[in-house]
Structure 1
Amino acid sequence: MKRSKKLLITAYVLIASFVAIALIDRNVAESVERLSNALRDWSRNSPTRIHAYFASFLLSIVGNTTIFIPFPYAAVVFIMTSQVGLDPLLLGIVSGIGAAIGETTSYALGYGGGKYLEKRGYAEKFGSLHAFLLEHRKLVPLAIYFFAATPLPDDVLMVPLGMLRYGLMHSLIPCCLGKMTMLLFIGYFGSFVSGLGGYLGEDPVFGIIFDAATIFFVVSMVYIIVEFDWAELLKPKKGWQIQP
């Protein structure tokens, strides 16, 4: 069994065990609820809230500089809005800008490392995309936006764009808009989840179950994003070579 799957199962067991303890001993649920509410109130009224936005900005940059390995920075946005109570509009914009900045590393890799990538076998990985970009240049901004606004790995598009010497700003602007779209959706969804929990009831046991379900959802999404081979959806054609 892969280590990531073991970690996923362990997380599920811990979540289920915590909920079981809260159901058996109501005092545990009430204590956790008081602590959770205190932390949320502090974070929402803290004069250092700007640090949370800055942290999300930095994590979005770092998350998108991870070449070929998806990083669940979007989960940070979800947690920041659902648990900390940050403004989803401002957070989505700030994190989207950070994510787009991080993607410039993939563009730079393609721009300056085409021959190296060919030797490492990445030419086969990016072949069909390279051909598509050459034949349909007018669709490139839309493709960039689509990749940025979905869980698809931007690397498999940004690297070929760098190889083709496609304009950096022409790549960065639709990428930034796409990232903002995705993170705004996630941020507002997190805010909706937080509001739903407050609307359904104040019972501490219910609060524990609801928070556990939220954590379960986030952990599952992180696992899917990290483990799923998104690049396999864009399996390249054979016989393509990087043009000098």
Structure 2
Amino acid sequence: MDITDLFPLSGELGYLGIFLISFVGSIIVFVPVPYFPVILAAAVSGKFDPHMIAIVSALGTVIAKTIIFFASYYGRRMLSQNMQNRMLPLQRLVSRYGWPGAFVAAATPIPDDIVYIPLGLARYSPWKFALSTFAGKVVMNEVMVWGTVFLGRPLAQDVVSSSDNLTLLIITLASIVALGLIIYFSLKIDWGKLIGRWFPWAIEEDVKEGEKKTGDSNSSLEKKKD
């Protein structure tokens, strides 16, 4: 396949086409519909501003990933109250340090949904998630687009040629397995014990709440005795 075949409607759709292809390629969880060759084809065509390619593609991708994030964010309600309580220390931890994970997942070619879905389950800040993911996607897109601009058509053609069906299938299966394991252990692990060793501040509120309940119980007992 020639790389120019990937962007036949560039003259008609323009930046809207880049946006839509990036959105569709990112909204389907774990079904690889790579949009990278399309933005490389747009860069090779010489009809688009490289910075705008990177930004418009990142915008389409982030909107799609934010929808996935919110699906897991609100899907947390399906968990039992006990599971939600056990995840509170993890929720506090990612609330403070979740943005580096979102940024790295966006700025590298790893299957990013294995990071975004757990962040949603842990109820990470949607605004921090969107901004970190957007920044990461812009960085990655800029590198790819400008690499294509400077190194030319052969680089883009190599990327397209290497995106065969077997590779995409392996990535899909590996991503599904990884996410399944991450979600399973996220729900089963006692995060209070694990996180408390290294980040005691993440469980301090639970300790205080427990002491308060104990104090209230003791007060009630004393009143009954009186």
What TM-score does the superposition give when structure 2 sets the normalisation length? 0.63
Q: 1:64 to 1:239 in 2, by over 3 A?
A: closer
Alignment partner of 1:144 is 2:86 = no
Alignment partner of 1:172 is 2:130 = yes
User: What is the letter of the counterpart of residue 16 of structure 2?
Assistant: F
Deviates more, 1:80-89 or 1:184-193: 80-89
Tell me what 1:188 maps to. Answer: 146
Q: Is the 8 A contact 1:72 1:226 kept in 2?
A: no
Query: 153, 159, 164: which is aligned to 1:217?
Result: 159
| Mapped partners of 1:85, 1:227: distance in 2 | 34
Query: 63, 66, 75: which is aligned to 1:101?
Result: 63
| Mapped partners of 2:137, 2:131: distance in 1 | 10
Displacement of 1:53 in angstroms is 1.1
**What SS is found at the alignment partner of 2:27?**
coil
Query: 50, 57, 76: which is aligned to 2:19?
Result: 57
Displacement of 1:84 in angstroms is 4.7
Alignment partner of 1:78 is 2:40 = yes
Q: 1:146 to 1:173 in 2, by over 3 A?
A: same
Cα-Cα RMSD: 3.7
User: What is the letter of the counterpart of residue 159 of structure 2?
Assistant: F
Displacement of 1:227 in angstroms is 3.2
Q: 1:95 to 1:240 in 2, by over 3 A?
A: closer
Query: 170, 176, 194: which is aligned to 1:227?
Result: 170
Q: 1:221 to 1:138 in 2, by over 3 A?
A: farther
Q: 1:131 to 1:238 in 2, by over 3 A?
A: farther
Higher alpha-carbon Rg:
2
Q: Is the 8 A contact 1:147 1:153 kept in 2?
A: yes
Tell me what 2:204 maps to. Answer: none
**What SS is found at the alignment partner of 1:103?**
helix
Alignment partner of 1:112 is 2:74 = yes
Where structure 1 has 5 or more consecutive residues not aligned to the other structure, the ranges are 1-10, 16-35, 124-128, 198-209
Deviates more, 1:229-238 or 1:52-61: 229-238
Q: Is the 8 A contact 1:75 1:222 kept in 2?
A: no
Alignment partner of 1:157 is 2:115 = yes
Q: Higher RCO, 1 or 2 (CA under 8 Å, sep at least 6)?
A: 1
Tell me what 1:19 maps to. Answer: none
1:24-77 CA distance string (max 9 Å, x none): xxxxxxxxxxxx8xx99xx7xx6x5xx321100111111111112232111111
**What SS is found at the alignment partner of 1:86?**
coil
| Mapped partners of 2:20, 2:41: distance in 1 | 15
How many residues are treated as equivalent by the alignment? 176
Q: Is the 8 A contact 2:43 2:148 kept in 1?
A: yes
Displacement of 1:172 in angstroms is 0.2
Displacement of 1:183 in angstroms is 0.8
Q: Is the 8 A contact 2:90 2:122 kept in 1?
A: no
What TM-score does the superposition give when structure 1 sets the normalisation length? 0.59
Could you tell me the percent identity over the aligned residues?
Answer: 24
Displacement of 1:107 in angstroms is 0.7
| Mapped partners of 1:191, 1:174: distance in 2 | 26
